[in-house]
Amino acid sequence: MGNGDRESQSAPLHCRLVYRPIAAEATSQGVGIRWSSNGIEFRGRDPLLDGSAAEVWIEGVKGVSPSWRAFIEVTDCWPETEGGFHIKGWIKGILSDG
């Protein structure tokens, strides 16, 4: 997710997700790439501003893990050549549906 004190070992996050800026009502869809105890990385349809706060709803896997919601601070967002945006952020909090 980046270098520095917040770096921790990351794991793949291959699932659908929905995200939005904290103050917005409209949501966008995306696909997870990886996550760690303090960071998340995903591809999305719409951009998020660097430094902004956002909510990310991650779909659970039935019988394996519940859905969960992460509150993030966006650290990086750039357009991808095939369309959409690559988004990274620090996880500031997590809520679980399970």
DSSP the chain: --SSTT----EE--SEEEEEETT-S--EEEEEEEE-SSEEEEEESS---TT-EEEEEE--BTTTB--EEEEEEEEEEEE-TTSSEEEEEEEEEEEE--
Mean pLDDT over 43-70 rounds to 87
Q: Is the pLDDT confidence value at 27 over 90?
A: yes
Residue 5 — very low, low, confident or very high, per pLDDT cuts 50/70/90? very low
How far is 32 from 40, CA to CA, in rounded Å?
A: 8
Mean pLDDT over 48-55 rounds to 97
* Domains contained in the chain, CATH given: 12-96 (2.40.10.220)
Higher-scoring residue by pLDDT: 44, 35? 44
Q: Please state whether the predicted TM-score (pTM) of the whole model is above 0.85.
A: no
Q: Is the pLDDT confidence value at 31 over 60?
A: yes
